[in-house]
Structure 1
Amino acid sequence: MLHPWRCNHGTTLALALELGLVEICLMHPLDVVKTRFQIQRNKSDPSSYKGLGDCFKKIYRSEGLLGFYKGILPPILAETPKRAVKFFTFEQYKKLLTPLSLPPALVFAIAGLGSGLTEAIVVNPFEVVKVRLQANRDAFAQQPSTIAQARHIIRTEGLGLRGLNKGLSATLGRHGVFNMVYFGFYFNVKNAFPINKDAKLEFLRKFVIGLASGTLASIINIPFDVAKSRIQGPQPEPGVIKYRSCWRTIITVYKEEGFLALYKGLLPKIMRLGPGGAVMLLVYEYSYAWLQKNW
C-alpha cells in the first residue's frame, strides 16, 4: 500500500491531481444540492426542497442519476490550475511576508487570504458556467452542454462582470475568507501541538486538524457562497437583475429571508469540504516536505 509519507516527487504530484479528480467525482452531487438550496427563495413553493433527503429524492426523480453531475466539467477543467494557484501563491505570499517580522499566525492568515483572492480570479468563469448548469432543472440530456452554456453566456452577456465574470466580488470573498481560515487555522493549530513520532498517528493528527480547518472555513465563508450562487444563478424575474454586488446581495437575502438564509447549503458544503479539505492539505504537506528535503 502506498502511504503519503513514502511518495516520491512524481507520485505526489500525480496523487494530488488524482485525489482532486476523485474528490470532484465523489462529492459533486453535494455541490449540486448545495447550489440548489442557495438559489432557493420560496419554501412554500411545491417544487422547493424541504431538506437534504428531499432534495436528493426530487433531483433523482425528475432529473435522473446524471442530474447530480450537472456542471461537473467546469470544476474538472479548473482543478489543476486551481490547486496550482492555491498552493503556489500561498508559499509566495508567505515569502513576501517573512521579512516583515509579523507573528506566524498572522503570516499564515494573510498568505491564505492572498492565495484565495488570486485563486478566485482564475476559477470565477468556471463557477459562472457551473452554477448555470446546476440551476437547470431539466433532465440531464435536455440541458445545454458546458461549451454551449459558456458560448451562450459570452454571446448574450459578454466576458465582463455582467457575463462570464459575473459574481467576481462574491467569489473573491468566498475564496479569500475560506483560504484565510483554512491555512491560518491549520498551520497555527498544527504547530501548537507536538509532532507524533509514530508516522500513522502523525498522519491522523494532521487529518483531524485539516478536517476541522475545512469545516470551520466552510461555516465562516458560506454567506459569500450564498451571494455568489444568487448572483451567478437565475434571477427571480427574467430580465431584471436583482442580485448584483456581493454585499448588497447579502443584505438583501438577510432582510427578505432572515439570517439563516445566509447559511443555506451549509450541511452539504461541510460534508464535501471538511474531508476534502483535509485530504488536500495532507497531499500538499507531504509533497512540500519531500521537495524541501530532496531539491
Structure 2
Amino acid sequence: MARKPGGFLQEASHQVAAGGSAGLVEICLMHPLDVVKTRFQIQRGKTDPTGYKSLGDCFRTIFQREGLLGFYKGILPPILAETPKRAVKFFTFEQYKKLLGYASLPPGLAFAIAGLGSGLTEAVVVNPFEVVKVTLQANRNAFTEQPSSFVQARQIIKTDGLGFQGLNKGLTATLGRHGVFNMVYFGFYFNVKNILPINKDPNLEFLRKFGIGLVSGTIASIINIPFDVAKSRIQGPQPVPGEIKYRTCFKTMATVYKEEGFLALYKGLIPKIMRLGPGGAVMLLVYEYVYAWLQDTVGHK
C-alpha cells in the first residue's frame, strides 16, 4: 500500500491500531478452542487419570464440570496481551519487511524472514501473559472458584519470580512457536496472495483472502505445534508437585517423544487448527481492512 500523508508516525499508528483490532477480534471469537488445545497438550499419555478420551469428550467434560465460562478460563491475559501482541506482530512485520527491501532479497524470502523476525519479537512481549494463561487454563475448578488473572500472576511472581522459572518460563519454546508460525503464516499468505489474481467482485475477493489466510494459519499450526506442546508442558503444572520435569524446549520435546511417542508432539492439533485456521484468516482480514480504512479516512484528514 502506498504511504498516505502524515509520514512514518501516522503510518505506524495505523499499523498498530489495525494489528490490535485484529488480535482482539480473533481472541474473542476463538478462545474456547485455545482452552481445549491447552488441556490436550498438558495430558501425559493414556495413563493420565485426568485425561480426555476425545475432542468431544473434552468439550463435554469442561461444560459439565466447569460450565460455559470454563471455556473462557484465562481469557483476560490474552485480551490484555492480544492487542499489544498483534500490534507488535503486524507493526514489526511491516518494519522488517521494509528493512529487508534494502537487502535485494527475493520477495518470497523477504516475507518469510520478516515473519520470523516479527514472531520472535512478539514472543518476548507475550510470554509472561502465556505463563498466566496456561496456568489458569490448566485449572479444572469451576470458573468462579479459580483465582483471577492478577492474583495468579502475583502468585507466580511470589513463588518463582520474574525469571525463567517464573513469569518468563518457557521463553525459548515461545520464541520457537511464534517465530516458526509467523515465518510460515506471513510467508505463505503474502506470496500466494500475490500469485492468485485479484477478483473484482468484493465478495469473491473477501473469500479469496479468507481462503489463503485459512490455509496459511493451518499450515503454520501444523509446522509449529511441537513448540506449542513443549511450551504448554513447561508452563503448565508439572507431573509431580515440587519437581520440575519439563525444563527446556528441546529437552521437553525429546522427553515427550521418548515417553509418549511421536504423535504426542502433535497433541491439541485439531483444536489448534480449528482456532488458528479461521482465526489466522480473521486476523489478516481485520488487519488489512482496518489498516486500509484508517489510511483512506484518517490519512486524508
Same fold (TM over 0.5): yes
Q: 1:168 aligns with which of 166, 171, 184?
A: 171
Quote the Cα distance in structure 1 between the aligned partners of 2:72 and 2:21. 18
- 1:1-295 equivalences under 5 Å are 17=20, 20-289=23-292, 294=299
Quote the Cα distance in structure 1 between the aligned partners of 2:33 and 2:282. 17
How far is the alpha carbon of 1:80 from its aligned partner? 1.3
Quote the Cα distance in structure 2 between the aligned partners of 1:176 and 1:230. 19
- Range with greater deviation from structure 2 (112-121 or 17-26): 17-26
- SS class of match (2:166): coil
Quote the Cα distance in structure 2 between the aligned partners of 1:13 and 1:231. 31
Residues 130, 200 of structure 1: alpha-carbon distance in 2 compared, 3 angstrom cutoff: same
Residues 12 and 283 in structure 1, CA contact (< 8 A), matched pair in contact too: no
2:109 maps to a residue whose letter is L
TM-score (norm 1): 0.91
Quote the Cα distance in structure 1 between the aligned partners of 2:23 and 2:140. 27
Residues 187, 11 of structure 1: alpha-carbon distance in 2 compared, 3 angstrom cutoff: closer
Query: What is the percentage of aligned positions where both structures have the same residue?
Result: 80
1:98 maps to a residue whose letter is G
Deviations 1:1-49 (A, max 9, x none): xxxxxxxx99998786556434323321111110000000132344310
Quote the Cα distance in structure 2 between the aligned partners of 1:45 and 1:20. 34
Structure 1 unpaired stretches of 5+: 1-8
- SS class of match (1:270): helix
2:117 maps to a residue whose letter is G
Quote the Cα distance in structure 2 between the aligned partners of 1:42 and 1:136. 18
Deviations 1:66-104 (A, max 9, x none): 211110100000121011100110011011111110111
How far is the alpha carbon of 1:194 from its aligned partner? 1.5
Quote the Cα distance in structure 2 between the aligned partners of 1:163 and 1:48. 26
TM-score (norm 2): 0.90
Deviations 1:157-208 (A, max 9, x none): 0001110000000000000000000000001111111212222212211110
Residues 138 and 237 in structure 2, CA contact (< 8 A), matched pair in contact too: yes
Residues 19 and 89 in structure 2, CA contact (< 8 A), matched pair in contact too: no
Residues 13 and 287 in structure 1, CA contact (< 8 A), matched pair in contact too: no
1:51 maps to a residue whose letter is S
Quote the Cα distance in structure 1 between the aligned partners of 2:17 and 2:119. 23
Residues 16 and 88 in structure 2, CA contact (< 8 A), matched pair in contact too: no
Quote the Cα distance in structure 2 between the aligned partners of 1:245 and 1:127. 16
Aligned to 2:8: none
Structure 2 unpaired stretches of 5+: 1-10
Number of aligned positions between the proteins: 287
